[in-house]
Amino acid sequence: MTISIAHLGPPGTYAEQAAAFYVNWLSKNRQVEAILCPHPTIAQSLQAVAAGASQLAVVPVENSIEGSVTMTMDTLWQLDNLQIQLALVMPIVHTLISYAPSLDEIKTVYSHPQALAQCQGWLERFLPSVQLIPGNSTTEILQQLEQEVTIAAIASGRAAQLYNLPILASGINDHPENCTRFWVVSQSQIDTANPFLTASKSHTSLAFSLPANMPGALVKPLQIFAQREINLSRIESRPTKRSLGEYLFFIDLEADVNEAQMQSALDELTTYTEVLKIFGSYNVLSISASSSLSFENTNYS
Amino acid sequence: MTISIAHLGPPGTYAEQAAAFYVNWLSKNRQVEAILCPHPTIAQSLQAVAAGASQLAVVPVENSIEGSVTMTMDTLWQLDNLQIQLALVMPIVHTLISYAPSLDEIKTVYSHPQALAQCQGWLERFLPSVQLIPGNSTTEILQQLEQEVTIAAIASGRAAQLYNLPILASGINDHPENCTRFWVVSQSQIDTANPFLTASKSHTSLAFSLPANMPGALVKPLQIFAQREINLSRIESRPTKRSLGEYLFFIDLEADVNEAQMQSALDELTTYTEVLKIFGSYNVLSISASSSLSFENTNYS
């Protein structure tokens, strides 16, 4: 089986690392060949799956320090045909990559805004006077490092390896327990022999809007799940983009959409919501820090 | 009275525009002189008030298109001595500023990531092949425009005026009803003769954490307010930064903290929360698009 996986690029991003881990994990039960397809934005990697150009996308959902990745939620709401297959929780270890002979020579640090924010304390302590420049991904700047020794980038150790670049400092994130949750998303259930993907699921994600001007109406939807003792593991609001003060609510529940309790909860939920979208049920796979970082089964498009 | 107001800089940002509007509005009831103090980040403008260097900060809270400004919420939670005095809702009209003779000459567009996101559709249509570079504010790049005609910035019309720069296109935001809510924050109630600031308040904002591993526990706090018919106008979750899946909840309620119903609700709330922080009660002032943009009473520090 050959699958095409869309992710935020250029190669070496944490999304690509999660995608590569997923391919390796899938290969344990069945021979899988994967083509990794980097895209300039998270939105474009989801759109590639919605349009059928890739079978899967691996996208970041939330980070333990910086919170939700709003582009993932907004795009998932806009696209109608995507389902979550699996959640991956991956530890994030940032490294400082540069050709500078020492920290003193560095004048500018580039990275994704979330990565810069996650290393804020370290940067203030060790590089207090550098200019921080946010970009679209952690890896965007990597190919320019060789030309300019006063530039550094914050990215993964794997990215440094991939581009054969020198690491000046490792583990520079302020919170050592920093991790990011990714979703593996496809149009429909992917053909697989992996029992983890077909067994009963631990989580369901959905989103809904409420009739306008009824902000207090949020209590009802939450009660529906509380009464049935279905645990809510996350709630997030996003603007409807119609007017200030109107929100969409994104909810993660600890139950399978096929359970009878969930079916009756979702039936009742539709009586209170304006638009309800169910993004699917899935299990959560935690990637340990010591996971092998060799990915023999992946090719680059 | 002379007051020092901290805001995100350099001069010309929307936060500064909101601050200047606030000063003008305050001057209607009493002579007020203000010194506007630009800071490189929103966090630093709040910290300036917490440390007593400025009396007030004007900070963005949420935008109708791009949602919450997470740095404002995270910093407010960390600092213990700040209270919200007033909310300002301001229409956002983006302009494209550049010395380029026409759109065809532009190669790079700089702005704050929220502004770039709010003009995404316009940029794809009229500048499909330019490079978009996110920065710390909308005004950071303005002083470099004169040296390089292939560069453009997205900022307010007022910023163009302030730096005497040419506007190439106006009203380029994708959603015409784009607006941002700001909070005016101080250490304590500011000495003022303005009745709007001392009258009973329409909104209260607070945030709390829940005991660990009790995600379903969110229903109880919401019920407390629903039972008393206190409307919840916004709920937002932020990571506790301890571990993935643990959240702080930020809530805006349509009631004054001094009402008896609110007092009893808050008393009951403390039995369910781990840490509860009340950011104060305040009224909301809507700035109309036609508001005068002359600010005679403001000086720059």
**What is B176-217 written as a DSSP string?**
TT-EEEEEEEESS------HHHHS--SEEEEEEE--TT-GGG
Is B297 part of any domain?
no
Answer yes or no: do B244 and A179 touch at CB < 8 A: yes
Q: The dihedral of CA A198, A202, A205, A206: what is its sign?
A: positive
Distance of residue B33 Cα from the nearest chain A Cα, in angstroms: 31
Helix (H) or strand (E) holding B28: none
| Inter-chain CB proximity B241 and A89 less than 8 Å | no
Domain end call among A149, A177, A205: A177
Residue A73 and residue A193 share a domain: yes
How far is residue B119 from each of residues A39, B70, B162, B176, measured CA to CA in Å? 20, 20, 22, 10
The CATH number of whichever domain residue B86 belongs to comes to 3.40.190.10
Which of A158, A177, A196 is a domain's end point?
A177
Instruction: Give the CA count within 13 Å in the CB-facing half-sphere of A275.
Output: 13
Torsional sign, CA B16, B20, B25, B31: positive
* Residues of A in Cβ contact (< 8 Å) with B239: 62-67
> What is the pLDDT at residue A297?
41
In this structure, the answer to whether residues A158 and A140 fall within a common structural domain is yes
B297 and B27 Cβ atoms separated by less than 8 Å:
yes
- Identify the domain containing residue A194 by its residue range: 2-91+180-286
B134 in contact with A at a CB cutoff of 8 Å?
A: yes
pLDDT in tens, B103-139: 999 999 999 988 998 999 999 999 999 988 888 889 9
Query: Chain B: nearest CA to A116, how far in angstroms?
Result: 12
Whether residue B64 is found in the same domain as residue B197 = yes
Partners of A224 on chain B (C-beta within 8 Å) are none
Q: How many domains does chain A have?
A: 2
Rounded to the nearest integer, the mean pLDDT of chain A is: 89
The reply to whether B38 and B79 lie within a common domain is yes
A215 touches chain B (CB under 8 A): yes
Highest mean pLDDT: which range of A224-233, B31-40, B98-107: B98-107
Within this chain, do residues A101 and A226 fall inside the same structural domain, yes or no?
A: no
Which of B181, B226, B245 is nearest residue A219 as measured by Cβ atoms?
Answer: B226
Per-residue pLDDT band at A213 (split at 50, 70, 90)? low
Residue A291 within a domain: no
Clarify whether residues B220 and B202 are in a common domain: yes
pTM for the complete prediction? Answer: 0.88
Nearest CA-CA distance, residue B121 and chain A, Å = 13
Using a CB-CB distance cutoff of 8 angstroms, which residues of chain A are in contact with residue B64? 239, 241-244
Residue A264 pLDDT more than 60? Answer: yes
* 3-state DSSP assignment of residue B276: strand
Q: Is B129 on the interface with A (CB under 8 A)?
A: no
Structure tokens at A248: 């969409």
pLDDT tens by residue, B263-297: 999 999 999 999 999 999 999 999 876 654 434 34
Closest residue of chain A to B67, computed from CA coordinates:
A239
The torsion defined by the Cα of A180, A181, A187 and A193, in degrees rounded to 10, comes to 110
Closest approach of A43 to chain B, Cα-based (Å):
12
Q: Do A232 and B218 touch (CB under 8 A)?
A: yes
> How does B262-284 read in b/e, with b if 16+ C-beta sit within 10 Å?
beebbebbeebbeeebbbbbbbe
Measured at the alpha carbon of residue A79, what is the angle toward residues A300 and A205, in degrees to the nearest 5?
95
Residues A272 and A213 in one domain: yes
- Same domain (yes/no): A171, A187: no
Asked if residue A292 belongs to a domain, the reply is no
In a domain, B119, yes or no: yes
Question: Which residues have a Cβ under 8 Å from the Cβ of A61 and sit 6 or more positions away?
Answer: A68, A69, A72, A73, A87, A180, A181, A182, A183
A215 plus A264 within the same structural domain: yes
pLDDT digits (tens, 9 = 90+) for A158-168: 999 999 999 99
